[in-house]
Structure 1
Amino acid sequence: MALKRRIRGFNAGVRLKGNEELHEQTDAWSNRDLIPLPPSRRTWGWFNFFGFWAIGSLNVANWQTPSTYLTMGLSVRQAMAVIIIGRFLIAGFSTLIAWCGLKWHIGFTVQNRYSWGMRASYIPLLQRVMLNFIWNAVQCWNGGLLCTVCITAIWPSFARIPNTFGPNMPTTTYEFVGFVVFWFLSTPFLWLRPEKFRVPFLIVCTWCGLGMFVWMIWAVATAHGLGPLWNEGTKIPAGSQWSSSWIMMAGINQSVGSLAAGITNGSDFSRYATRRRSYVIGTVLSCIVTGVLVSLIGLITAAACQKIYGEIYWNPPDLLMVMMDSGNGSSKARAGVFFLSAGFAFTAMFENICGNAVAGGIDLAGLFPRYIDIRRGAIITFLAAWIVQPWQLINRATTFIAVLSSFSVFLAPIIGIMACDYYLLRKRRVRLSHLYRTKDTSYWFWKGVNWRAIPAWICGFAPTIGGLVVTVRMDPNPPRALVQLYYMAFLIGFFISATIFYGLNLAFPVPDMDQYDEIDVYGTFTPQEARRVGVMPLDETDGMAVDETGFRHGSVDHVTVEDGKK
């Protein structure tokens, strides 16, 4: 009995608690971070979204993007064209998927319940959890490399630290210390809720953006111009079976696919918007302009430094180490390198926290709503970095990383289903009160599974997975058709899954797909939003009864909402 009491006491202690007067009930499907976000928690203006997308652009990966396309054989102009087209597509798809969060203020975790069914929504959710765990670990490792540059700039002797690891450890003490420092410095920010991200966004955009611009000016001024890289022409091998058009198509697919995870869960953050136009202005402006500018700055800097050092350095940590002669350079050189590397490191830190840790927290909250909220989930995601062991993945399992980078093959069909269901089938209407229960809900389908979504998803990635396999294996003579399909994987997956899902719903229709609650049972909307959406605020329902479906029934002296919604 004593043991049972202790277990019950422990369970009560770790279970989340919410203010039910604010509809923050905690059960198997709901907690404070999963319910439709009330106006009091919607604090993101246009600059928040500008900063959100800026941290996805002001980073090492985007700086190196032109090198990827130049390596594929494209010219500088073609590479920049790919980047510009890709950024426009990213902005378009992101806004398309995030609109549900802007209108109904629910995130990806809940959004999939009306497409997949309450139980089957775990299929896309588990994919996101896995990606968050792995990419968080990889980003911590990459951020750790920038920390090693910062430490070397302060204490040059750090670059000569002896390696205390054995031959079976695929890293060095030098690299591992940077990882540990980055991980511990990042941890305190996990306690910061998304509502409070404005100040970090401002610091990141100012510090790293200014640093990149100053770096480019210094490189061009020191080199008195640009090196041969700037005039790089098309270098497709004579015997190649691919024309520049197909290579550009592959580049566009890679550009959009690399951010497919962020597109998928766009509503997780769009629901924090104070206004819809805040999201549109901040996202389009930052995603396109900042994304293109960072790639261009990286290209110009690499071209100028080619003239200075006689080699092309695309990786910023490598170039920074060369600039300060591995810590043996002048104090001015080391100070400049510290400023630049710290800016990159801080950007990587907050990009990882926002894009992987917080996103992972939201997804884990969907799996275990009674015990995990955003903060606890973010901490779990961050702790998982030690289990994933990124030093093993980065230095050994290059094939595994390549598969992760191509995971858009599986995410694009999910995005297609989401878009088709919300815009074409449900006519942008969602019954919020039905998303948080299993009894008398429109989203239970067959035993909690909307079977229509599963074949639509499989058919979306089936044509392109063969190309993924032969590309990752680097087969010398892969079937041309397979690779062509893979070069268009994102668009193929999106449109095939959307089309099949639409067809299945026409053949096997679901009743009342365009229904929505007539009453704002969660207090989700401002009066202006309620009028636009067509729902009645709960405090204006005097003389009406509201059942668990959110519909009005007759005249009574008070309003009741069943299933714990009062």
Structure 2
Amino acid sequence: MKAVEVDRDELSRGDADGRLFNEDLAPARPDDRTWNGYSLFSLWMNDAHNASNYTFAAALFIGTGALMGMTPLAIVVGVLVATLIIFAACCVSGLMGYETGAPYPVISRVTWGVWGANFPAVVRGLVAIAWYGIQTYLASISLELLLMRMVPAFQSWDYPILGLRVSGWVAFLALSAIQLLIVWRGMDAVRHFQGLAGPVIWVIMIGLGVWMLWQADWQFDWMVNADGVTPSAGHQVYQVLVTVGLTVGTLATLMLNFSDFARYAPSARSMVLGNVLGLPLNWTAFAMTSVLCSAAAIKVYGEAFHDPGDLLARIDNNVVFYVVSLGFIVATIGVNIVANFVSAAFDLSNVNPKRVSFRVGGIVAVVASIVVTPWNLYGSPTAITYFLGSLGALLGPFFGILVLDYFYYKRARIDLRDLYSPAPDGRYYYHKGVNLNAAFALIPAAIVALAIALLPFELCRALAPFSWFIAAPLGALCYWVVMRMRGEEAAPVPGARAQQTQG
């Protein structure tokens, strides 16, 4: 499979008013394609090794309800199966970015129309901004603890402003500034940061696991849960399935916009290699390390901790505390940039390319993430459920509709000139810039996805962990039905990939 190359000047001339084109949204040049297999592997290392994923794995081990007391083995199996699915989905969405060189908001124009693509891009951008703020807040907890340990006087800065202590504000704003600085320097700076941070974080996490096991006299059992019992085989199978659903749902955002990074890959092989190393291997190993630390904490402190910040607060060895705290901070910066910051910047730029560059989009994302006071958002189950839950529910249908349209109906034969052209006779102008077929297909799929995410019925709660597996195929099915009803046919199968066109 070969990447398409196109003259940027030609694309710019086709959009003289700058309504669809700027240099940040333009297809990647050959010399931009520097994200090799190791770079993408590092991307996944940074995305996996952070406080929220530690909390996720620990919660499965300690959890209540349907996930009460999962064994370490069941967690590892569940995460492994989930990451194999995510690996396949990211290779599919990444192939769109690799072959066209375009970011996700531009690729969406293929299916949604040159103006209609703003809807999925804005939804994805809002999710990214909210989670960017939440992840920054979670990392700021570690930084705040670190500052308090280093400078005890910092502990007196405890009076609240808008629900957050002054000391927390200092840590939160400092991390926001650091992340903005990295992204301000461009995607190459992001690549270098990921490449350096990924292995360092792994060394720290392995060191923490070994240290915790040493403290626990190397006592660890794969087959018992946090309560010291082994659940029945049937219950463990159900727990594994729920773990698969929750893990896939957690990464639904990156599965949708992985093309933002794959567009910089020098070859399809490097993209696949980075994904296989970073997802099934790396994510599963990190989940195992997180559970190991939680199990050891029961032996050492008499209780397990959902939040790594609580575990850090108990560590009385200053060297271990400082090293692990810095590791979590760097890791969360890494995942935030990958999963949230880059996407939000591209999505916001797509709304108004003439006035909003990638850098300006990044500034808007930072300001918006402060305005929403993410510590209050994170602390409100209602806000998480109804705001982020409703937006996140749409990511499945977006993915299913896009993949079916791109690979089946368009046969991956994309006209890059028309992707950046506001001309009414363009291939992706559809009806006044909007593909009504995609809009009609989204409505029933979105209704079902939102019902599963929001309605307080027992059936909806039972299906909630599997919402992506329901919503994504349903979106594709609805699109297929609409296309059949409107008499739309798939493009002829090309004789060779070389027939892919640029215009």
**TM-score of the alignment, normalized to the shorter chain, above 0.5:** yes
Which ranges of structure 2 fall in alignment gaps of 5 or more residues?
A: 1-6
For 1:314, the equivalent position in structure 2 comes to 306
Matched, 1:97 2:93: yes
Pair 1:276-2:268 in alignment: yes
Give 1:391's match in structure 2, choosing from 375, 382, 397: 375
Counterparts of 1:491 and 1:410, CA distance in 2: 12
Alignment counterpart, residue 74 of structure 2, candidates 78, 92, 96: 78
1:512 is displaced (CA, Å) by 8.1
* Separation in structure 1 between the aligned mates of residue 159 and residue 263 of structure 2, nearest angstrom: 48
Q: Within the alignment, does 1:491 sit opposite 2:469 as a pair?
A: yes
Distance 1:162 1:497, change over 3 A: closer
Quick one: distance in 2 between partners of 1:282 and 1:116?
Answer: 29
Aligned: 1:304 with 2:300: no
Partner letter of residue 506 of structure 1?
R
Q: Does 1:500 align with 2:483?
A: no
Distance 2:19 2:393 in 1: 31
Q: Decide whether aligned partners of structure 1 residues 53 and 284 sit closer, same or farther in structure 2, where only a CA change above 3 A counts.
A: same
Q: Which residue of 1 aligns with 2:151?
A: 155
**Does the 8 Å contact 1:58/1:294 carry over to 2?**
yes
Task: Give the structure 2 partner of residue 421 of structure 1.
Answer: 405
Written as runs of structure 1 = structure 2, the 5 A alignment for 1:141-540 is 141-158=137-154, 160-165=155-160, 169-226=162-219, 231-232=224-225, 244-324=236-316, 333-395=317-379, 397-403=380-386, 404=388, 407-439=391-423, 440-470=425-455, 478-480=457-459, 482-510=460-488, 513=491, 533-534=498-499
User: Which moves more between the two structures, 340-349 or 175-184?
Assistant: 175-184
Distance 1:210-1:500 versus aligned 2 partners, 3 A rule: same
Q: Do 2:42 and 2:199's aligned partners in 1 also have CA atoms closer than 8 Å?
A: no
Matched residues in 2 for 1:459 and 1:414: separation? 12
Residue 108, structure 1, aligned to residue 104, structure 2: yes
Contact 1:62 1:291 (8 Å CA) reproduced:
no
Q: CA deviation at 1:36?
A: 1.8
Q: 1:244 to 1:306 in 2, by over 3 A?
A: closer
CA contact (8 A) 1:51 1:205 kept: yes
Question: Match for residue 16 of structure 1?
Answer: none
Task: Output the CA distance in 2 between the equivalents of 1:76 and 1:23.
Answer: 53
Is the 8 Å Cα contact of residues 75 and 287 (structure 2) preserved in structure 1? no
Shift of 1:227: 5.9
In the TM superposition, residue 20 of structure 1 has moved relative to its aligned partner by 6.2
Alpha-carbon distance in 1 for matches of 2:390, 2:91: 22
2: CA distance, partners of 1:227 / 1:248: 20
Give, in whole Å, the separation in 2 of the partners of 1:21 and 1:102. 20
Tell me how far 1:498 sits from its aligned partner: 0.6
TM-score (norm 1): 0.79
Answer yes or no: is the 8 Å Cα contact 2:254–2:339 preserved in 1: yes
Secondary structure, aligned partner of 1:182 = helix
- Kindly state the Cα deviation for residue 228 of structure 1 after the two structures are TM-superposed: 7.4
Question: Alignment partner of 1:254: what SS?
Answer: helix
- Structure 1 pair 406/205, CA: closer, same or farther in 2 (3 Å)? farther
Q: How many Å separate the matches in 2 of 1:501 and 1:456?
A: 5
- Give, in whole Å, the separation in 2 of the partners of 1:512 and 1:417: 14
One-letter amino acid of the structure 2 residue matched with residue 50 of structure 1: F
Tell me the equivalent position of 2:42. 51
Report if aligned partners of 2:245, 2:467 keep a CA contact under 8 Å in 1: yes
1-structure distance, mates of 2:373, 2:465: 31
Q: Structure 1 residue 220: deviation in Å?
A: 1.0
Looking at structure 1, the residues matched to 500 and 402 of structure 2 have their Cα atoms a distance apart, in angstroms, of 23
Q: Distance in 2 between matches of 1:405 and 1:302?
A: 28
Alpha-carbon distance between aligned partners in 1 of 2:347 and 2:421, rounded to the nearest angstrom = 18
Q: How many residues align?
A: 484
Distance 1:43 1:426, change over 3 A: same
Q: Distance in 2 between matches of 1:380 and 1:515?
A: 43
What secondary structure sits across from 1:452 in the alignment?
Answer: helix
Q: CA deviation at 1:243?
A: 5.3
Distance 2:468 2:367 in 1: 31
Is the alpha carbon distance of 1:38 and 1:24 closer, same or farther for their aligned partners in structure 2, counting shifts above 3 Å?
farther
Paired letter, 1:438: P
Q: Deviations over 1:420-454 (max 9, x none)?
A: 01111111211111111132211111122211112
> How far apart, CA to CA, are the structure 2 residues paired with 1:491 and 1:113?
24
Instruction: Write the distance in 2 (CA, Å) between the matches of 1:463 and 1:246.
Output: 23
> Cα distance, 1:234 vs. partner?
9.1
Please state how far the C-alpha of 1:170 moved relative to its aligned partner. Answer: 2.5
| Contact map agreement 2:128 2:343 (CA 8 A) in 1 | yes
Cα distance 1:247–1:455, how it changes in 2: closer, same or farther (>3 A)? Answer: farther
Cα distance in 2, alignment partners of residues 411 and 535 from structure 1: 28
The whole-number CA distance in structure 2 between the counterparts of 1:21 and 1:437 is 13
User: Aligned residue for 2:3?
Assistant: none
